[in-house]
A = this chain, B = another copy of it.
């Protein structure tokens, strides 16, 4: 058995996977119990809300939230049905569409935000100092860069 990576790195990877699942499951189940949007939808709406003009091209949105394109198509279908998002054609490129958050979408995200932030505060903020958070961000952004390259 080749030990390319150290025990310490193995352990870090494991705690990373586990803490991620536990945290997102917790957030998701609280949202569900409160009858609110799922965490996935929360991500979509937040991303759109942060974007210039509250809109993003389908492919850019998919890339940002790391969704498959077909997955995003159908996610946006569902969000359009409930009125949280609308599609608008791109003026530049007639193949392209923007997904745009509506005011209802913003409101729904905003309501859910309380639960999400509360949950993160309990689990994350208590465990990590500001400096820890800062350091981890820097490290993990490195990891992101490497992972993107490694993906070819």
A interface vs B, CB < 8 Å?
Answer: 1-6, 8-9, 11-13, 15-26, 29, 66, 110, 113-114, 117-128, 130, 132-134, 136-137, 139-144, 146-148, 150-151
The 5 sampled A-B contact pairs (Cβ below 8 Å) are A2-B117, A5-B121, A12-B128, A19-B147, A123-B143
The prevalent SS among residues of A at the interface is: helix
Q: What 3 pairs across the A-B complex have the smallest Cβ distances?
A: A22-B147, A15-B140, A4-B117
A16-B136, A123-B147, A151-B29 known; A5+B117 contact, CB < 8 A: yes
Write the nearest CB–CB distance from A8 to chain B, whole angstroms: 4
Contacting A66 at CB < 8 Å: which of B4, B22, B124, B126? B22
